[in-house]
Each structure stands twice: as structure tokens, then as C-alpha cells.
Amino acid sequence: MLAKGTGVVAIIVVAVVGLFAATALFVVDETKQVVITQLGRPVGEPITEAGLHFKIPVIQKANYFEKRVMKWDGSPNQIPTKDKKYIWVDTTARWRIQDPLLFLKRMGSNATALSRLDGIIDSVVRDRVSNNNLEELVRSEGWEEARQKLMEAGLPDLQFLGAFRESQGDKLIKGREKITREMVADASRLVPEFGIELLDIRIKRINYVDSVQEKVFERMISERQRIASQYRSEGEGERAAVLGQMERELAKITSEAFRTSQEIRGKADAEATSIYARAFGKDIEFFEFYRTLDFYKNFNNPKSSFVLTTDADIFKYLKNSAGTSRE
């Protein structure tokens, strides 16, 4: 009976020790940091090292907080820019708990911290957007260098746009990167009192409001049409130059061919004349007779009238033909 009682006591002692250990020991992993509170009040320094740690059961509590970087996403806001253009701005940020003890005292939870960040970051974004032109918000300060590299690569469209920019005057001062760095600097001065470190703010998307978007699209279409008209004009100029060059070369080729043909024809006529002269020179009377018969054959002009006497030289072979036949 005594042994049985001793066994029960041992079981009770083990159970009590186990319960004590379960409530007194806690584990902190690499992604967490812990603040111990005793009856609701923080005690000791925050625990940031991973491992097994001890607290007083029942009266002390381990409050876990994230050590990793966390995300904040704001709601898109309609904000006017410095040049009076109304746009929707959608931003995001990254933050972490730098001082968990101060965070517990001031914020208490991540939900409260996100709510406070909503007010701080939205205010900073609104101030910076309204103090800068739209062009600076959508472009980076490295845009000019990037455009220059693309122009050197031989892209004619970018060359034309670059020339247009230079003609209008490029007034880019900051660019989106510098503006977002200013946002981070402004907001970072307001969050340390809450035990928070703000790491980054980025603009996810910028878009015109509906009332302005249609006009912007019309202006973009007009700009592309102007560029297309410029291309067509340059193309027509190139076409005219090519056609002019082609006509000059064609005229030159035709002229040289005509000159060559005339030279060949002249040489042929001269050689034919020489041959005729040598052939007919052997019998001049036969030559005259041949030319007279050729005239008879080819003469045909019904619109003209000739009055000739019988003594004309052209009829001399006709007059002599009767006597010749009688002989």
C-alpha cells in the first residue's frame, strides 16, 4: 500500500514538473523576437537570439514579434501633381520592427502598426506627389543616359523622340527614384518613436483619372500621328531623291546608247554609200536609169499636182524606149 502511494506521488511530481517546464520554457526561432511581460508590464531586455529560454510560469508571458521584413500596401489615392494633373498613385513599403520593447509599448500589434503606417506613408506620398511634376514621377533620373545608349545602338524612333525632347527643352530635375528616396527620408523621421524601421517606399502604379485619361490618349495618338507624318515626309524625300537619280542615270544611258547607235548608223551609211558609189561608178548611165525607175516606183502623192512637159529629163527614158524597141 505504501509503494502504491509512493508511485502516485511520483506521478504527481512528474506531472507538476512537466507542467512547470511547459509553462516556464519557450522557444525563439530565427524569425522571431520576444518581449517578456510580467502581469502586463515588460520586464528585462528583448530576446532576439534564437534558442530555448526561461520565464516564470503563470505571471510572465512571452510576446512574439516578427524579426523579418514585412510588407505594407497602401490604397490607391487620387492626388494632383504640381502641374495640376490628377493621377491615381498606388504605393507599397517595406518595414521591420527595430525595437520590439518600444513597439510593444507604443503599437502592441502589427495591425495597429499598419494602421499608423497608413497615415504616415499616405501623407508623405501625397506631399511629395503634389510638389513634383508628373514627368518627374514617371521617369527616372537615369532616363537620359539610357536614351543616349539606345540612340547609339541605332534606333531611329528614339533618335527622333530625343531630338523632339531637346527641341522642347528637357526639364527633368529629380526623377521617380529621388522622389521615393525623399519619401523614405520623410517617413523615416516619424516612425522610430514606434520602434519601427522603414526600409523602402515604392510607387507600384501611376495612372490618370478617368476625366483626364481620354485627353491624354488623344494627345498620345496625335503625337504618334505627327511622328508617322514625319516618317512619311522623310520617306517621300528619299523616294524623290532615288527617282531623280534613276531618271538621271536612265537619261545618261539612253543618251549614250543613242550616240552609239548614231555612230554605228553613220558608219554603216558611209560604207553603204561607198559601196553604191563604187558599184554605180562603173556605169554612170545605168545608175541614172536605175534612179529614174526607182523614182517612178516610189512616187505617190495624191494630194499634189505636177505640170511637166514631155521635154523633162524624167521622161527621157520613156521617150527613147519606143525607138529602142524598134531597133
pLDDT one-digit tens code per residue, 185-239? 999 999 999 999 999 999 888 888 777 777 777 888 888 899 999 999 999 999 9
Q: How far is CA 271 from the centre of its chain?
A: 73
The C-alpha atoms of residue 271 and residue 255 are separated, in whole angstroms, by: 24
How sure is the predictor about 160, in pLDDT bands with cuts at 50, 70 and 90?
very low
Which pLDDT does position 50 carry in this prediction? 86
Count Cα neighbours of 272 within 13 Å in the Cβ-side half-sphere: 6
- Read off the pLDDT band of 121 (50, 70, 90): very high
Q: How confident is the model at residue 21 (pLDDT cuts 50, 70, 90)?
A: low
Give pLDDT tens digits for 295-305. Answer: 777 766 667 66
- As a whole number of angstroms, the distance between CA 130 and CA 83 comes to 8
pTM of this structure:
0.55
Tally Cβ neighbours within 10 Å of residue 161.
16
Could you tell me if 36 and 55 are in contact, meaning their C-beta atoms sit under 8 angstroms apart?
A: yes
In CATH terms, the fold of domain 70-219 is Tetrahydropterin Synthase; Chain A (3.30.479)
Q: So what's the pLDDT on residue 16?
A: 55
